[in-house]
Structure 1
């Protein structure tokens, strides 16, 4: 069932991106980008935890405000979490995020970006909970984890060709995702991605 949901989400992203080639008809001075990549994430404040790898998929919109600067918005899927000592399976959070930031391009070769991201934690798995492998139990993680969180991000990119970019981005969590006041858990992750950008 989990794989089916992820497949549906992936299909939705592809459907949206397929019409992005014509986005200029709906948006003045903007272009779109589809990103796919890998994530190394951890949760600060979680005892005896280490980084886990995950998957990243993004659909981004760049609205130009000058020749060098653009507003960067969109929607991303992030497979986040951490490995916990003593457990075979990691703590897993499936997060849909909404970034808003500023993008800078130099000589149409180099990029830099900075901004903030609103994150969501709809479902996931915690190996410390009983029956954590069950699909229905995956929603019980919301008993311990907040539905919304925020992070700030900064990154750099290199434009290989007119439509191909390589980006490296780091997100630093700024809000506590634990519902227990005595805990202070924050999501932090590094993303390496390749992007196909529909520049006009």
Structure 2
């Protein structure tokens, strides 16, 4: 169901990109992540990472914009019992719908597809590749609040709620979806 909604929004955004080319804005964004694995994953704390990528901003109707993005994102978690870390790197493709509250503030929400690029577990300062133990894709939903200046600079705070399990172990009794808080600075051209 989530895959169908995501791909429908992606096709809609491509259609709108070609239909509204004269109003289209492109931009770059980047910032900090505060990531953890949720639900059944215990003994973990937030991992601090970065994210960065590009976006397109497409006006749909008055007060609404569609913003597809392609963003590299460091996710995972840190063990609360030492320096051990779960380091997950994703290429995330969110398709956000932005509702402009006024000329500066907006609310945003939309689906996100994540493609796992790499996964390592750091144990005693040694990195071990664990990509084969994780699912190659991740589905989630993002919610956020943004502020845009008249100079096309934007500050966003977004919560990405993973709705699929990251582990590929087949255990239906254990769930470790991604949970990521992002603070971004972006500029549109």
TM-score by length of 1: 0.77
Structure with more strand by fraction: 2
Per mean C-alpha deviation after superposition, the further-off stretch among 114-123 and 104-113 is 104-113
> 17, 29, 32: which is aligned to 2:26?
32
Counterparts of 1:116 and 1:69, CA distance in 2: 16
Q: How does 1:131-142 map to 2 (within 5 A)?
A: 132-133=126-127, 137=128, 140-142=129-131
Cα displacement string for residues 59-99 of structure 1 (whole angstroms, at most 9, x for unaligned residues) = 11111112311111020011111111334131110110111
User: Unaligned regions of 5+ residues in structure 1, if any?
Assistant: 1-22
Q: How does 1:62-81 map to 2 (within 5 A)?
A: 62-81=57-76
Cα displacement string for residues 78-124 of structure 1 (whole angstroms, at most 9, x for unaligned residues) = 11111113341311101101111211223321111100100011212
Corresponding residue number in structure 1 for 2:120: 125
Cα displacement string for residues 176-197 of structure 1 (whole angstroms, at most 9, x for unaligned residues) = 1111122311000000111112
Q: How does 1:63-102 map to 2 (within 5 A)?
A: 63-102=58-97
Counterparts of 1:112 and 1:125, CA distance in 2: 34
Counterparts of 1:118 and 1:132, CA distance in 2: 30
RMSD: 2.2
Moved over 4 A (4+): none
Counterparts of 1:181 and 1:111, CA distance in 2: 39
Counterparts of 1:141 and 1:132, CA distance in 2: 12
Counterparts of 2:130 and 2:105, CA distance in 1: 40
Counterparts of 1:111 and 1:58, CA distance in 2: 20
Counterparts of 1:185 and 1:53, CA distance in 2: 18
Counterparts of 1:54 and 1:41, CA distance in 2: 7
Counterparts of 1:106 and 1:86, CA distance in 2: 43
User: Unaligned regions of 5+ residues in structure 2, if any?
Assistant: 1-16
